Structure 1
Amino acid sequence: MDEELEFKPFSDTYRKITFALSVGMIYPNPKTEKWRLASIPILVASITPLASMIFIDMYKGWLVKDIVNIIRHSTVVGPFLGGFFKMILMYHKRVQAKEILDEIDRDHRVFNGISEPYKDIARASIKNSQVFSETGWVITVFTCVMTFPAMAIVQNFYNFAFKSEPEKYMIHDLEKPFSAPEARFQSPYFEFIFVYMFYCSILYVINFIGYDGFFGLSINHACLKMDLYCKALEDAMTAPTEEVYEKVIAVVKEQCRMFRYVDLIQDTFNIWLGIIFIATMVQICTCLYHITEGYGFDLRYMIFVTGAVIHIYLPCRYGAKLKVMSVETSNRFYSSGWEQVDCQRVRRMVLFMVARAQCPIVITAFNMMAFDMELFTSILQSSYSMFTLLRS
């Protein structure tokens, strides 16, 4: 039956994000709660050896004041460990996240029964989300992370194929604990650690695709809800007199549903937004320092810092989009043609709807910092200030 429907549930509409959420153990399915609760500690335990090795190497760098090596490790391991924090956080917020999915699924079912002009709005919004918030985000994360193993594979292949004394390259250069520096290239340790790091790279990609992509899709859907009920109010004003009141009531109900839906988004992603605000600012600074003050220009870290900028730009962009759209609804309500309706009840309702829509909807981090383009500019400025301070 679902195959005959144009608008399908979230899991069928956004397959890439759903796959990443499921494999990353953060898809809020009540049927898999026990499985996820058991799997998260196993996944965390599987990356503990690599994290421990990195921290040991960072400690050794601290003892000899090797700041560049410490920054090189922290730039990669910080976001990597943050991905596993998302698993824990999403499990904690699994009820709210499930309600977000249920609301999206409910709306998609409704879309199948609405008239063609409304379907056109829904099609355009969903297509935009699939191209930019899903596929575009997948490509961005995959490029930023998998550049490390891809370049290591290419360099190793070239050296072994064309050089008499080939030099080995690791995905992330890391010394073998409590051993001589050259011990990391000895077989079979080198081959084992290379495969192990490749496994961790895949987890890295999955963790960032699913959680962050889900946030973008949720915000886009909130904007779609506003666009649709603005259109519904405009149509209500041209409806037969006896139908106007009921149609406006339906718009009010949808507006209230949208407010509850945004509250769920705020509750689900509030902590994560605060963490990436701080972490990304530090990461951009450390990446710039490594590129300029490290061991020469490194394409991998150049791509990585670009990804870090995109990573904080998109939540700010989504937050700004939601804020602008929420204020724009008041203008659309006012221009809906209410003055042509003689019913005083309808006029008073529209007045209250306009007044409520004039209060911008803001997504905040830690319930304090509003995510918008002004915050993005502030983050870049702060990162550069930290970078210049670190260089001095």
Structure 2
Amino acid sequence: MDEELEFKPFHDSYKLITFALSIGMIYPNPKTEKWRLASIPLLVATIAPLAIFVFIDMYRCWMIKDIVNIIRHSTVMGPFLGGFFKMILMYHKRIQAKQILDEINRDHLMFNDFAEKYKNIARSWIRNSQIYSERGWVITVTGCVMTFPVMAIVLNVYNFAFKSEPEKYMIHDLEKPFSESEARFESPYFECMFMYMFYASILYVVNFIGYDGFFGLSINHACMKMDLYCTALEDAMRNDDEVCGRVVAVIKEQCRMFRYVDLIQDTFNIWLGIIFIATMIQICTCLYHITEGYGFDLRYMIFVTGAVIHIYLPCRYAAKLKALSLDTACRFYSCGWERVEDQRVRKMVSFMIARAQVPNEITAFNMMAFDMELFLSILQSSYSMFTLLRS
């Protein structure tokens, strides 16, 4: 039956994000709760040896005052380990996340019975989400992370094909614990570690595509809900029949949207607070590694670009939600209420305008509002930390 519907559930509308959520053990499906609860510790256990090797090397670097390599390790491993925190956090917030999915699925099902005018609005927003919040985000994350293994593969192939004494390149250069520096290139250790790091890169991509992409899709859906009920109110004022009933229906949708945004806030506010702090540090450390490390490194240049995009998008989504929520007050006021003589309708519209003048905001730790001003503040703070570190 779903094949006959134009507007399909979340898992059919956004297949790439759904796949990443499922592989990353964070898709909020009640039927898989026990499986996810068992699988998350297993996934963490599979990357524990790599994390231990990195921490051992960071300790070695600390003992010899090698700050550049400490920063190099922390720049990559910090977000990587944060991906597994997302699994735990999403499991903790699985009820709220499931309610977000249920609301999206409920709306998509309703769109199939809407008039063509409203379907066009829904199509536009869903297409925008599929292009930017899904495919665009998948390309961004994959490009930033997979640069490391792809460049390592290309350099290894080139060296072994065209050089008499080829050098070996790891995905992330890491000393073999308690061994000489060159021991990391010995077989079969090098080959095993290369494949192990490639596996870690895949997990890296999956964790960032699913969770962060889900946030963007959720915000875009809230914006679509606002656009739809504003249009519904404008049409209600042009219709002489059942104006009061139509306005009541718009009020109900407005209240549903408020509850929906509260769910997004409850589900993602801890994560937003963490990336607010972590991204500032990551941008700073990436810049330091590029300028103070062992020459220009294209991988880290791409990585710092990805870090900027990673904090830009939540700020952009939250700013768009805030701007559209304020714009609804203007659209309510301009809907043509003055042509309606029913005082009940006029009073309802006045209350709707008053409520819409309080913007919907997404905050980190329920304190810091995410918007473009915060994004600029993060960049300024990162650069200040970078100049302090250089000095």
**TM value normalised by structure 1:** 1.00
Partner secondary structure for residue 26 of structure 2: coil
How far 1:333 moved relative to its partner?
Answer: 0.1
Structure 2 match to 1:168: 168
- What's 2:43 paired with? 43
Aligned-partner residue type, residue 118 of structure 2: Y
Tell me which amino acid in the other structure corresponds to 1:386: M
Q: 2:321 and 2:56 mapped to 1: Cα distance?
A: 44
> Could you tell me how far apart the structure 2 residues matched to 1:300 and 1:71 are?
15
Aligned twin of 2:331: 332
Q: Which residue of 1 aligns with 2:158?
A: 158
1:346-381 CA distance string (max 9 Å, x none): 000000000000001110000000000000000000
* Alpha-carbon separation, structure 1, partners of 2:352 and 2:236: 14
> Residue 193 of structure 2 corresponds to which residue in structure 1?
193
2: CA distance, partners of 1:152 / 1:57: 20
C-alpha distance in 2 between matches for 1:101 and 1:204: 24
Note if 1:360 corresponds to 2:377: no
**Number of the residue aligned with 1:289:** 288
Q: Deviations over 1:234-291 (max 9, x none)?
A: 00001124x1000000000000000000000000001000000000000000000000
The residue type equivalent to 1:282 in the other structure is: I
Aligned to 2:143: 143
Q: Distance in 2 between matches of 1:324 and 1:353?
A: 16
CA distance in 2: counterparts of 1:239 and 1:257, whole angstroms: 24
Letter in 2 for 1:324: A
- 5 Å matches for 1:202-351? 202-241=202-241, 243-351=242-350
SS in 1 for 2:388: helix
CA positional deviation for 1:51: 0.4
Cα distance in 2, alignment partners of residues 131 and 238 from structure 1: 34
Q: 1:117 maps to what in 2?
A: 117
Give the AA of the match of 1:372.
Answer: D
Aligned match of 1:77: 77
Alignment of 1:15-30 (within 5 A): 15-30=15-30
SS at match of 2:238: coil
Q: Secondary structure at the match of 1:237?
A: helix
Alignment partner of 1:9 is 2:33 = no
Query: What do residues 285-331 of structure 1 show as CA deviations (whole Å, max 9, x unaligned)?
Result: 00000000000000000000000000000000000000000000000
Amino acid at match of 1:142: T
Work out the CA distance in 2 between the residues paired with 1:66 and 1:2. Answer: 58
CA distance in 2, matches of 1:64, 1:193: 24
Letter in 2 for 1:71: I
Instruction: Report the identity percentage.
Output: 81
Q: CA deviation at 1:187?
A: 0.2
Q: Which runs of 4+ in 1 moved over 6 A?
A: none
Letter in 2 for 1:381: Q
1:193 and 1:30 map into 2 onto residues whose CA distance is 36
SS of 1:342 mapped into structure 2: coil
Counterpart code for 2:266? D
Please name the residue that 1:91 is paired with: 91
1:119 Cα deviation after fit: 0.4
Task: Please list, as runs of the form range in 1=range in 2, the aligned pairs for 1:55-66 lying within 5 A after superposition.
Answer: 55-66=55-66
Q: Which amino acid aligns with 1:286?
A: T
Could you say what secondary structure the match of 1:159 adopts?
helix
What whole-Å deviation, never above 9, does each CA across 1:181-214 have from its counterpart, x for those lacking one? 0000000000000000000000000000000000
Equivalent residue number for residue 376 of structure 2: 377
Question: Which letter does structure 1 place at the counterpart of 2:308?
Answer: V
Give the aligned residue type for 1:375.
L
Size of the aligned set, in residue pairs, is 391
Shift of 1:50: 0.3
Distance 1:117 1:281 in 2: 43
3-state secondary structure, aligned to 2:34: helix
Q: Show structure 1 runs of 5+ residues with no match.
A: none
Distance 2:95 2:266 in 1: 11
Question: 2:76 and 2:55 mapped to 1: Cα distance?
Answer: 12
